[in-house]
Amino acid sequence: MKASKLWYAVFTLPLMLIFLSVVVIPFLIGIGYTFVSWDGMAKHAAEFVGIRNYIDVFSDDRFLQAEIRTVIFTIFSVVAINLLGLTFAIIVTTNLRTRNIARTMLLMPYLIGGLILGYIWKSIFSEFFISINWGNWLTDAHKAMAAMIIVTCWQMAGYVMIIYITGLMAIPDDVIEAAGVDGAGFLQTLFKIRFPLLMPSFTISLFLTLSNCFKVYDVNLSLTGSGPGNQSEMFSMNIVSEIFSLNNFGYGQAKAIIFFAIVACITLVQVTITRKREVEL
């Protein structure tokens, strides 16, 4: 027993130290920075301002607009990604001859970095769309938002598909066969049996897509650059701009903490709701 505890400590202690040094301690230090006015350069120039940074955030129109856009972007993206991912998963778990090739091709966009994907699609939405008389989507605020949703879905749908494939393959064949014997059709089996048993996969997929869409930055940077006129700027882009472009380190850090609290609360509620609907065989 003592030997097993020793080996447990040997393997877990380094990981805990890394987690503390890389995540927990910087996070706590970051909270401390939210109470000062600082340009991020000379520490002696930092001025304690209490909770003024937090108060100012709620009167920052640019940040509030970025918040609204991020929520809208997240809602549309999460719904589209999960619908596409689930549809792809259902298709490639059938007797389709090219299902393995299809899985590989659908997963490929996720293996490409968001920055690269953004630059690739930037040329499509601008140069190619102009050549076919569709206009440059990235110079229109609403079309730029739609372009970001399309690229995000293109990137993440294949990854979510893998999660749903795992859930579908975990459903026992005898359950599906029993439903067929009882006269259940494809849609009845899908909605009455597969979906309830897929709820753990829904929990994971919704959590990942919600958190990733709220935190979107690379696609925002490479595809639209927050343009036109900051009208496609998202949460993360606004925070990075506040800290590194405007040199408002303390104020930008306060935005980051508020952003963290919003994402944490939303994902916690989502996980709680979907976990309660999970069904055990």
Mean pLDDT score across all residues of the chain: 88
**pLDDT value at 268 more than 70:** yes
Residue 58 lies in a domain: no
What is the DSSP secondary structure assignment for residue 228, as one 8-state letter? S
**pLDDT value at 55 more than 90:** yes
**Structure token digits, residue 40:** 């991020």
The per-residue pLDDT for 115 is 85
Domain count, the chain: 1
The per-residue pLDDT for 94 is 81
Residue 176 lies in a domain: yes
Residue 7 lies in a domain: no
Residue 23 lies in a domain: no
**Structure token digits, residue 259:** 């952003």
pLDDT tens readout for residues 130-186? 988 888 999 998 899 999 999 999 999 999 999 999 988 888 878 777 877 777 777
Q: What is the CATH number of the domain that holds 266?
A: 1.10.3720.10
> What domain range includes position 102?
63-276
The per-residue pLDDT for 278 is 76
Helix ranges, the chain (H): 2-19, 25-33, 52-57, 61-92, 99-111, 114-123, 129-131, 141-169, 173-181, 186-189, 195-197, 199-214, 218-219, 235-240, 249-276
Residue 81 lies in a domain: yes
Residue 256 lies in a domain: yes
Cα 209–chain centre separation = 4
**pLDDT value at 93 more than 70:** yes
pLDDT tens readout for residues 28-37? 999 999 999 9
The per-residue pLDDT for 229 is 85
Report CA torsion sign: 117, 118, 123, 129. Answer: positive
Which whole number is the average pLDDT over 62-77? Answer: 94
Residue 17 lies in a domain: no
Task: Report d(CA 61, CA 179) in Å as an integer.
Answer: 55
Residue 37 lies in a domain: no
